[in-house]
Chain A
């Protein structure tokens, strides 16, 4: 059993000296476990290591390893020493990178591109976001900094939430082998926009893409990236919060310009993209999202179904396939008149999976409005003067859909899970479009979907989400995977029963998850890999 056991005190140093994490069981380690006679000092009384951040290192949607950022020392009043420990996908220690920096930095995200590894730090003192890129020897190659201010508050709030889609990477992506991009949502009062930073890992080059004036009221969500493009779902507002158009935007990191901006309502049938995946064997992209009736307002109206667009790398739409709620979906699911799936509500698309056998699978998750007791009460008590929203958003079941190679729906299954309330949604729930709400829910980490892990060719894959088990021998939080083995699906539940003060599940190598447990009393962090059943 690989059982990495990192003591948060002097054992960390023993590990550093002895070279491997397994050295925690060495005679030296035992020495430092020993307590001296009462009243005398021991190492753990005078020195501690603190874990500041942890996360997964990804490349092309595959887990390559994990990072742990420790505060290992204080250098002066303003400066700390940090140790960035990098583990591979089997939890073997690869490198310890030591550096000194402001005492108020935090590590936001990491990415890996096959030739370098990047870390995005937030420096509270300097008010900067710093992208540090290291080579294979753990030497710092480049540091790129940009200021942050109150306009990035929304982004910082996102980072506070524990759970993120696809592991940790929300805003930082490896772009080919040559650099990294980060997309920053910006908000200034009611004005919303975004910026994209690109940092080269092969030479000291950086650029920031800022949308033109027409996009000053825009909300962007990263859909994915290719070797040269960052793909965004952008909602542009003509009047803040009222009329909006949905766009699929591709930004070319080599030309530093927008490669395309597909207004998805050109034919008056709006389309709101939710997920994108490259089409194997071509340079084309497959984009999936909700489509609306011709002339509909995406901020208000219900969608008609799910559309799948094939677009070229220049943004030209070469094919559209529509799957309607009342026609295609109703063969497999019970659909209400407003495009809602019974007991599921609206559906958000998390992942498109093009499996090795040529099929397309799509992982979706339901969300719906439900009555908010608090919203109703406060609205009634104020006599309607203070409208606090009488509904709240609830996250419902997982839905896995299957499409043929012409992108027509051939099957859909609902995987039941207990509903969970999305917090702090009163007010918003009544004011915005279903798509806008879904974007907000996603950005705040409200969905139960965690990630999809699988072979590189997706001959096997597991769609993973957090769940609760209320029956049977075990009652409590579970980590559930819907596994496809190339022939059929089966569901596996991993009970998250633990005596740990904190437990977190990270994506793992194909077929596995990594479980991190923190035992506060013992000041101990355990990491283990578990294969999904």
Chain B
């Protein structure tokens, strides 16, 4: 989950853009101006999606003739996944943000002429996940959840160069080809046939086959990552960026899962009221079945099945290149540090908003609380928490809760799991009363905000039931 970045922005004077804020002069004491998300440009998204669809269709005509249907199936799946990103408005369409990203990309492309021959496009994704990826059809996404944790433009540049490398080295397409060829190879088919004809111990046979493929596939994937790391430094070398950005980014990624947010303490602080005091049982966690909490399985297999080499290993491999090529005068920030900072600030809110509109209520709730800890008077966060608690109430009442909140699981950080447990422990009447009592101190001060007013009125209605 979210890292420790919150500490980096403590004391930072909020410089985020107030899109159409109505609070400039009228903010009540104790409340700051609210963030307003940039609306998605649906027509632009459709236009972009249509354009990429043509590319996908064109690409389909060039697929290998042998095993063509297999290739086509996989490329169809890939396109489906790409289209979904546009349909769900995950791609951020704010012109100012896009212009900034384009400027960063131009710095890379203009100084690496080889890239001009193979056009690609970079976009911000509104996802909270700290990740960037090449998704096919020449599209690279850098998630806001990663961008807002970076400390300078050289880190953005390294991430872009890494993904561009995947693109120009055709890693994804090579993996698809390897998959199709393996599945249809005479050796693989012969092994499958032998398993089919064996009356007994089929599982052992299939498992052996799967393991062999898994090791091979993941090894290739790790090789691809190592290649992309190296190629990224090669591309960065031609730019003005400080090559140390590669190493600091990998170090950041190594700790990206660490988080210091004390969920229990903040929930008790936030949702304790005189008329509806916080109940300890809301945080109660069941003792796990068979000896405690479920842990993700670790062991001999897990290292061999990782898709990425470990970050310390990647740093070790890149360090000689960086040290040898990094020259004095290279810059951490080349394009515009103030725009970089403003975007980072705005993205902290945009990921929260996108989590809500894409029905990821528990994610929205977690990030809202985490940010509220540092900005206790933030109107957007206060109204947003009221909105999401009403959403959770409605989902639970309509038996849709499993579609909008995660269940506690070993794959999540402890503090996010505790929030999930909190949600699980609440009955409808708890949700309604907690929300009403949370919003009441801000009424009528924030009534001028539609989201707040709607959330408050709904919570008052449900709490009275």
| CA of A136 to CA of B409, assembled, Å | 19
Residue of A nearest to B183 (CB): A36
Q: Once bound together, how far apart are the Cα atoms of A357 and B454, in whole Å?
A: 35
- Are A45 and B196 neighbours in the complex by a CB distance under 8 Å? yes
Q: Is the CB–CB distance between B402 and A76 below 8 Å?
A: no
Q: Which of B147-155, B207-215, B346-354, B434-442 contacts A (4 or more CB under 8 A)?
A: B207-215
Stretch binding the partner chain, chosen from A15-23, A323-331, A516-524: A15-23
Segment with Cβ contacts to B, from A85-93, A119-127, A141-149, A250-258: A85-93
Contact indicator A47/B302 (Cβ below 8 Å): no
Q: With A and B bound together, what is the CA distance between A31 and B201 in angstroms?
A: 22
Among candidates A34, A90, A509, residue contacting B70 with C-beta atoms closer than 8 Å: A34
CA distance A46 to B203 in the complex (A): 10
A94 close to B214 (CB less than 8 A)? no
- For residue B210, which residues in chain A have a CB less than 8 angstroms away from its CB? 10, 13-14, 17, 28, 32, 43
Least CB separation from A459: chain B residue: B281
Q: How far is the CB of A134 from chain B (nearest CB, A)?
A: 8
Q: Which residue of A is nearest B204, CB measured?
A: A73
Say whether A165 faces chain B, with CB atoms less than 8 Å apart: no
Contact indicator A485/B411 (Cβ below 8 Å): no
Interchain CA distance A18-B302 in the complex, whole Å: 8
CB distance from B188 to the nearest CB of A (A): 9
A36 in complex: contacting residue of B70, B202, B217, B294, CB < 8 Å: B70
> B337-345, B366-374, B423-431: which lies at the A interface?
B423-431
Which residues in chain A, 1-38, are within 8 Å of chain B measured between CB atoms? 1-3, 10, 13-14, 16-20, 22, 27-28, 30-32, 34-38
Contact of B110 with A by CB under 8 A: no
CB–CB A531/B401 < 8 A: yes
Q: Give the docked Cα–Cα distance between A495 and B408 (Å).
A: 25
Mark B382-423 against chain A: 1 for CB-CB distance below 8 A, else 0: 000000000000001111011111111111000000000000
Chain B hits for A40, CB < 8 A: 183-184, 189
Which residues of B (273-321) have their CB < 8 Å from a CB of A? 281, 286, 288-291, 294, 296-297, 301-302, 305, 307
Chain B CB within 8 A of A95 CB: yes
Complex CA–CA separation, A48 to B46 (angstroms): 42
CB-CB < 8 A to A94: which residues of B?
288-290, 294
Q: Does A65 contact B (CB under 8 A)?
A: yes
Contact bitstring A108-133, B, C-beta under 8 A = 1, else 0: 00001000010000000000000000
The interface residues of chain A lying within 8 Å CB-to-CB of B296 are 19-20
Kindly provide the distance from the CB of A192 to the nearest chain B CB, expressed in whole angstroms. Answer: 37
Chain B residue at minimum C-beta to C-beta distance from A88? B289
Q: CB-CB contacts of A521-533 with B at 8 A, as 1s and 0s? A: 0000000111111
Chain B interface SS verdict (over half): helix
Q: Is A388 an interface residue (CB 8 A)?
A: no
Q: A86-B289, A89-B286 are in contact. Are A530 and B401 (CB under 8 A)?
A: yes
State whether the Cβ of B334 lies closer than 8 Å to any Cβ in chain A: no
Contact call B200/A76, Cβ cutoff below 8 A:
yes
In the assembled complex, the Cα of A531 lies from the Cα of B403 at a distance in Å of 11
A482–B162 Cα gap in the complex (Å)? 57
If A27-B217, A34-B73, A136-B291 touch, does A2 touch B401 (CB 8 Å cutoff)? no
Tell me if B94 is interfacial: C-beta within 8 Å of chain A.
Answer: no
Which A residues are in CB contact (< 8 Å) with B179? Answer: 31, 34
With an 8 A cutoff between CB atoms, is A411 at the interface?
no
CB < 8 Å neighbour of B206 from A10, A27, A137, A495: A10
Q: Measured between alpha carbons, how far is A63 from B307 in the docked complex, in Å?
A: 36
Whole-angstrom distance between the Cβ of A74 and the nearest chain B Cβ:
5
Give the contacting residue for B297; candidates A19, A32, A76, A530; CB below 8 A: A19
The answer to the question of A162 belonging to the interface, with a C-beta cut-off of 8 Å to chain B, is: no
Is A511 part of the contact surface with B, judged by Cβ < 8 Å?
yes
Cα separation A1 to B406 with both chains bound (whole Å): 4
Given the interface contacts A88-B288, A530-B402, does A34 sit within 8 Å of B407 by beta carbon? Answer: no
Q: Is the Cβ of A485 less than 8 Å from the Cβ of B427?
A: yes
Residues of B within 8 A of A14 (CB): 210, 214
Chain A's interface size range is 35 or more
Bound complex: CA A45 to CA B296 (Å): 30
In the assembled complex, the CB of B288 is this many whole angstroms from the nearest CB of chain A, namely 6
User: In this assembly, does B40 line the interface, its C-beta being within 8 Å of a C-beta of chain A?
Assistant: no
One digit per residue, 1 when the CB lies within 8 angstroms of any chain B CB and 0 when it does not, for chain A 477-489 equals 0000001010000
Chain B contact residue count (CB 8 A cutoff): 62
Q: Does A160 sit within 8 A of B, measured CB to CB?
A: no
Q: Give the complex CA separation of A34 and B217 in angstroms.
A: 15
- Report chain A residues within 8 Å CB of B281: 455
- Would B206 and A34 count as touching, CB distance under 8 A? no
Whether the Cβ atoms of B201 and A46 lie closer than 8 Å is: no
Q: Contact check: which of A16, A75, A89 meets B289 at CB < 8 Å?
A: A89
Q: Is the CB of A13 within 8 A of B294?
A: no
Would you give the shortest CB distance from B64 to chain A, in whole angstroms?
A: 12
A531: which of B200, B202, B396 is its contact (CB, 8 Å)? B396
Chain B nearest CB, measured from A482 CB (Å): 14
For residue B202, which residue of chain A has the nearest CB? A47
CB of A485 within 8 A of CB of B405, answer no
User: Is B290 within 8 A of A37, CB to CB?
Assistant: no
Structural contact, A17 and B301, CB atoms closer than 8 A: yes
Q: Is A531's CB under 8 angstroms from B203's CB?
A: no
Please determine whether B200 and A511 come into contact, CB atoms closer than 8 angstroms: no
> Which residues of the other chain, B, contact A17 by a CB distance below 8 angstroms?
207, 210-211, 214, 301, 305
Minimum CB–CB distance from B304 to chain A (whole Å) comes to 10
Taken together as a complex, chains A and B put the C-alpha atoms of A66 and B307 apart, in Å, by 31
Q: Is A394 an interface residue (CB 8 A)?
A: no
A512 at the interface (CB under 8 A from B): yes
Q: Name the one of A37, A93, A112, A533 contacting B67, with C-beta atoms under 8 angstroms.
A: A37
Find chain B residues with CB under 8 A from A31 CB: 179, 183, 213, 217
A418 to chain B, nearest CB (A): 21
Given A72-B203, A512-B424, A86-B290 contact (CB < 8 Å): yes
The answer to whether B404 and A1 have CB atoms under 8 Å apart is yes
Contact indicator B290/A117 (Cβ below 8 Å): yes
Contact A533 B428 (CB under 8 A): yes
Chain B residue numbers with a CB within 8 Å of A75 are 200-201
A4 to nearest B CB, angstroms? 9
Contact with A along B157-195 (1 / 0, CB 8 A): 000000000000000000000011001100001001101
- Chain A residues with CB under 8 Å of B180's CB are 34
Least CB distance, B393 to chain A, in whole angstroms? 9
CB-based contact A136/B290 at 8 Å = yes
27 contacts between A and B (CB under 8 A): A1-B407, A10-B206, A19-B297, A28-B210, A32-B210, A34-B74, A35-B73, A36-B70, A36-B183, A42-B183, A46-B195, A46-B206, A47-B202, A47-B203, A86-B290, A89-B289, A91-B407, A92-B294, A92-B408, A94-B289, A94-B290, A138-B290, A530-B402, A531-B396, A531-B401, A533-B396, A533-B428
Which residues of A does B touch, CB under 8 Å? 1-3, 10, 13-14, 16-20, 22, 27-28, 30-32, 34-38, 40-43, 45-47, 57, 64-65, 72-76, 81, 86, 88-95, 112, 117, 136-138, 455, 460, 483, 485, 494-495, 509, 511-512, 528-533
**B residues touching A (Cβ–Cβ < 8 Å)?**
67, 69-70, 73-74, 77, 179-180, 183-184, 189, 192-193, 195-196, 199-207, 209-211, 213-214, 217, 281, 286, 288-291, 294, 296-297, 301-302, 305, 307, 396-399, 401-411, 424, 427-429
- Known pairs A28-B213, A31-B217; list 6 more (Cβ under 8 Å): A1-B405, A17-B207, A34-B183, A40-B184, A92-B294, A530-B402
Which 4 A-B residue pairings sit nearest by Cβ, starting from the closest?
A19-B297, A2-B407, A136-B291, A73-B203
